A and B are shown apart, each in its own frame.
Chain A
Amino acid sequence: MGKYVVRRLLQMMLVLFGATIILFLCLFVVPGDPITTLQGEGRQLDPSTRAALEQRYDLDKSIPQQYISYLGRLTQGDLGESYVYRRSVNTILSEKLGNTAKLSLASIVLMIAFGVAAGILAAVFRYSFFDVLVTLATTFAVGVPVLIIGLGLQNVFAINLGWLPLQGQSAGNRALILPAITLASLDTALVSRLMRGTMSEVMRADYIRTAYAKGLSKRVVMLKHALRNSIIPVLTYLGIAFGGLLGGAIIVETVFNWNGIGLALVGAIQSQDNPIVLGAVTYGVLVFVLVNLVVDVAYAFLDPRIRLE
């Protein structure tokens, strides 16, 4: 077990290393000079000021040197300084992190509450009206892109009905409802499909027949035998979904003007603020790899049949 975790940690380092190389190469061969962008086109910049700025942001060094110093700072958890705000990327991102975390956690709660529950009920009452309803709803959620779900919800609940705020965060927790539903929609549908699939498969297993045969009630069989044996793939999927939420968060935060990491990333891309782009994406990749590691290890704890080598 310990050996497996160590090996996975090493693999994770490798992935992070590869990801930062790709990012770094892409961001620093991008045409355009960030300092010119910052000062505005056509504005003359005193050469000594320019040199000072270049030195401040390592832009006077060669790309490999820049990468090495970036990696050195990264190992200490330092993501550098923003071109636009002249503040540490760590500070900027940590201000936004809370908002993205709030949105992600709310979405995960929705996925568990609705996705898992709907999947279980659909599997237990297979081919019932409810099952058909779940199938239709999940097909709809898979077919309608997050962007369009967001716009549709805004239109109905914020503009036409006026029940919930259109965007922003000033309304407190009520402002969280629409973005969280939007971000959770696709994964809730996939979770419920997966839950329904694995549970219906488990319900055909011999030990379920045995449990019925020894006289247990349907409720006990479902909760103690079927559910426990079919929840593991769902937990794995939830982990992966959580790790990948930043991709959806970019869209949702843009649509709802939600001041999180996704919105910061989009803003930084438009203003060529490479340190923030680099920081936000590195952060996203890090979360993804870490969550996957935790999921894989948890997998072995939950299912003793799985041997980690």
Chain B
Amino acid sequence: MTDQAVPAAPPVGEITLEAGAGGFGGAESQAAAVGGMTRQTQFGNIRRRFLRNKLAVLGLVILTIVFVTAVFAPIIATHPPTAQDLNITLQGPSSEHWLGTDELGRDVFSRIVHGTRIAVTVGLVSIFLALVIGVVLGSVSGYLGRGWDALIMRVADVFFAFPLIIGAIIIILVVGRGVAPVIIALGLFSWATIARLLRSSILSIRESEYVEAARSLGAGKWRIVTRHILPNSMAPVLVYAMVSVAGAIVAQASLSFLGVGVPPDVPDWGNMISSGQKYFGFKDYLWFFPSMAVVFTVLGFVFVGDGLRDALDPRLR
């Protein structure tokens, strides 16, 4: 095989098969990549399958709204998120304060809009961190095997044995509350599954004919891993990562709710739910609206993740 063929192809495109094809597909997708012409149609197939899925498209729309809100938060918000006005505390939704005001007279709508920034940042950055750790350790474990594999997988076992929330709480106890500690804590306790997924994916691809062909042509370990094995084994990892972002956003809100997340003065959905709970039963808009923001965002990531999974590999349905 020529070395240009694989790296040029979009990584997600290679591992997928035409809807009707069976088998593991290493050889077929290899043939497709060498053929050159089918590359685009494979990517097109994925896109078409994704766009045909109504929930996935809905997810994409939701995520667009969420990202636009996060980027343009100061423009969209009608009030400064931390501006207090003790004359208008705990007022229900009105034309001036669309979603009401909290116990310090702050505008709930504006706080939710600014909370989008925290949620999206924590979700994306923590899972990116987990991806970096997981992909490096997973590929070392899967490709080098032997002692490395045993060592890394035992370490992964340890991290895997902590429920995400509990692991995160422990790290935050050490580092203190704040956005960065929450990101680090969630990243540190999310990489283990990514490393395991990638490792098992690599183990099956390592033995495939095209890797053997690359090896027999004299390609070095580094080249084989980065150019041949990783692009072909990343699909399940990326799908998992997409859904994990939703998990991280939920975990982040839950940490704030438990009083160990970002500091209480930060406009954050979990903090808003937690302080709204004090007025549970008579000022329910206080916890309800931020909760809906969490649900909306989480559903966006879940829909896109599920759609991506179905589009990448129809057999997984």
Contacts A284-B166, A288-B161 given; does A27 touch B280 at CB 8 Å? no
Shortest Cβ distance from B306 into A: residue: A139
Number of B residues whose C-beta is below 8 Å from A? 38
Query: Complex formed: what's the CA distance from A264 to B161 in Å?
Result: 20
Chain B interface main SS type: helix
Query: Complex formed: what's the CA distance from A146 to B302 in Å?
Result: 15
Contact pattern, A 277-299, Cβ under 8 Å of B = 1, otherwise 0: 10001001100110000000000
Shortest Cβ distance from A249 into B: residue: B163
Asked if residues B295 and A154 are in contact (CB atoms below 8 Å), the reply is no
CB distance from B41 to the nearest CB of A (A): 27
- In this assembly, does B136 line the interface, its C-beta being within 8 Å of a C-beta of chain A? no
- In this assembly, does B165 line the interface, its C-beta being within 8 Å of a C-beta of chain A? yes
Q: Which of A151, A244, A289 contacts B291 (CB 8 A)?
A: A151
Shortest Cβ distance from A197 into B: residue: B317
Contacts A15-B157, A254-B258, A288-B161 given; does A139 touch B302 at CB 8 Å? yes
The A-B contact count (CB < 8 A) is 106
Asked if residues A27 and B161 are in contact (CB atoms below 8 Å), the reply is no
Asked if residues A145 and B253 are in contact (CB atoms below 8 Å), the reply is yes
Number of A residues whose C-beta is below 8 Å from B? 43
Asked if residues B170 and A26 are in contact (CB atoms below 8 Å), the reply is yes
Query: Complex formed: what's the CA distance from A31 to B174 in Å?
Result: 7
Which residues of chain A have C-beta atoms less than 8 A from B170's C-beta?
22-23, 26-27, 277, 281
Which residues of chain A have C-beta atoms less than 8 A from B137's C-beta?
none
- In this assembly, does A38 line the interface, its C-beta being within 8 Å of a C-beta of chain B? no
27 example contacts (A-B, Cβ-Cβ < 8 A) are as follows A11-B154, A18-B154, A18-B155, A19-B158, A22-B170, A27-B173, A30-B173, A30-B174, A139-B299, A143-B299, A144-B295, A145-B294, A146-B250, A147-B254, A148-B294, A151-B280, A159-B281, A246-B163, A247-B166, A250-B163, A250-B166, A251-B254, A251-B258, A266-B258, A277-B170, A284-B162, A284-B166
List residues of chain A with CB under 8 Å of any chain B CB. 11, 14-15, 18-19, 22-23, 26-27, 29-31, 139, 142-148, 151-152, 154-155, 159, 197, 244, 246-248, 250-251, 254, 265-266, 269-270, 277, 281, 284-285, 288-289
